A and B are shown apart, each in its own frame.
Chain A
Amino acid sequence: MSLVEIEKVHKSYDKLEVLRGVSLNVDRGEIIAVIGRSGSGKSTLLRCITGLEPVQSGTIRFDDVQVNAPETDLRKLRQKVGIVFQSFNLFPHLTAERNITLGLTVVKKMALAEAKEIARKVMVQVGLEEKLGAYPDMLSGGQQQRVAIARSLAMSPKLMLFDEITSALDPELIGEVLRVLAKLAEDGMTMILVTHEMGFARNVANRLVFMHEGEIWEQGPARAVLDEPKTPELKSFLGSVLV
């Protein structure tokens, strides 16, 4: 049984159909890179997996729990599925440490001392131990994004979703964030990442998924898909991004 099982998912905003029957299985430990033009439904797909967006039809199952069922406790689900956004979305009124401990103390009812211990651990993991007491606006974009990753990791998720997490960063800050991702990948984390970093996708992802107009147009081993695109749409997409 796969960790994530997405079957024939349709999603529309009013009349605009964003996902047109997407099916995708993700196994434990797999690293999937999702590429495609803006508006192809990549981000929406991630947001549907963690229940931030409702879907009109089809099923999304995570760890054998149906995400899009009304009786599903999304709070429980979200403790196991981390998501990191393009714009970091740290809580600006809280220190990096409190950003991380909030979910632990409030949702997991952990003692503050224990939560702080975990905060330190995940901040070491993203290489920012010395910034525990810093407020988000005192950090660079790359550092903020690493804190956001740490905040998700602290909940010890089984799956991490990354939604174009380097797109809002200055070019010189992208490397530090990608290094954190590469380390996570080495540690065996199951990840789905929507990305425009083709080089990174090629080196780190097991599987590459190309989305086009709300459908999975092409998928397969990352290198094979990038080197030998089968469809004209993927060819033209790859031609329009610098690889």
Chain B
Amino acid sequence: MRDFATSDFFYLMFAARWTVALTIVSILGGGLIGGVIMLLRVLPVAPARIVAIIYINVIQGTPLLGQLFIVFFGLAVFGYEVSPWSAAVVAFSLYAGAFLGEIWRGSVHAVPKTQWEASASIGLSTLEQLRYVIIPQAVRISVPPTIGFWVHLVKNTSLASIIGFIELTRAGQIINAATFRPMTVYLVVAAAYFVICFVLTRLSAQLEGNLRVAR
């Protein structure tokens, strides 16, 4: 047993970088998947819509922890050894993709139907309507719920600790095992999460303000 030292603090901060890294990569991966899911949901192609709905229901209807286990342990059974980092990135991207896809679909549907009619009546195709008229307006609507989900994702990355990925929470467990100062350790851990999320929500406010000015 030893005291909670400055080096422990820096160890936690170092691990926090992995929390941030996992969040950013999952946001990018999830954003890509979410974009595709949103398109499949809004385009007038029934089979595509059904595929997207099944995907969204499976991801939203099962626990994130279970998804992590399936990617990490499940793939190993079939001989695909994946590192905790890769498993976490895949699982969180799939997870974020379903939720972001739904958020963005909702934003697209929140743009008045008359905008679709007006853009159709000057001859734009469906994809052109989305690109030039609908999505630019949907983006503004989607900013608060999107950043809200990102914040949610930051906190959920702590689940990756369970498959052995050393991020902020896992690092906290390790330091706690050595120092047995749970209050100190987990308060620092919580504060670190808070700071990351706070930065994100500030970004959201900023972005909303900018979009309002830039239309």
Contact = CB atoms under 8 A, between A and B. Distances in A.
Secondary structure at chain B's binding surface: helix, strand, loop or mixed? Answer: helix
Nearest to A98: B132
Contacts of B120: 52, 74, 78
Nearest to B140: A93
A74 B133 CA distance: 18
A15 interface: no
A48 to B, nearest CB: 13
A102 interface: yes
Interface string A82-98: 11010101111110000
Nearest to A50: B121
B204 to A, nearest CB: 19
Interface of B: 114-115, 117-125, 128, 132-133, 136-137, 140, 215
21 contacts: A50-B121, A74-B120, A75-B125, A76-B123, A79-B122, A79-B123, A85-B117, A85-B118, A89-B115, A89-B118, A90-B118, A92-B215, A93-B140, A93-B215, A102-B132, A102-B133, A103-B124, A106-B124, A106-B132, A107-B124, A152-B122
Given A93-B215, A106-B128, A135-B215, A87 B114 contact: yes
**Interface band, chain A:** 20 to 34
A155 B120 CA distance: 13
A151 interface: yes
A78 B118 contact: no
Interface string A151-174: 110010000000000000000000
Nearest to A87: B114
B174 to A, nearest CB: 50
Nearest to B136: A93
Contacts, number: 61
Interface in A44-98: 50, 52, 74-76, 78-79, 81-83, 85, 87, 89-94
Which 10 A-B pairs rank lowest in CB-CB distance, beginning with the nearest? A103-B122, A89-B118, A107-B123, A78-B123, A89-B114, A79-B123, A75-B123, A83-B121, A93-B215, A93-B136
Nearest to A155: B122
Contacts of A50: 121
Nearest to A76: B123
A159 B93 CA distance: 50
A89 B132 CA distance: 14
B140 to A, nearest CB: 8
A91 B115 contact: yes
B121 A52 contact: yes
Contacts of B125: 75
A117 B215 CA distance: 24
Nearest to B128: A106
Of the candidates B119, B120, B123, B137, the one having the most CB atoms from chain A within 10 angstroms of its own CB is: B123
Contacts of B115: 89, 91
Of the candidates A76, A82, A87, A92, the one having the most CB atoms from chain B within 10 angstroms of its own CB is: A92
Interface in A95-131: 102-103, 106-107
A38 to B, nearest CB: 18
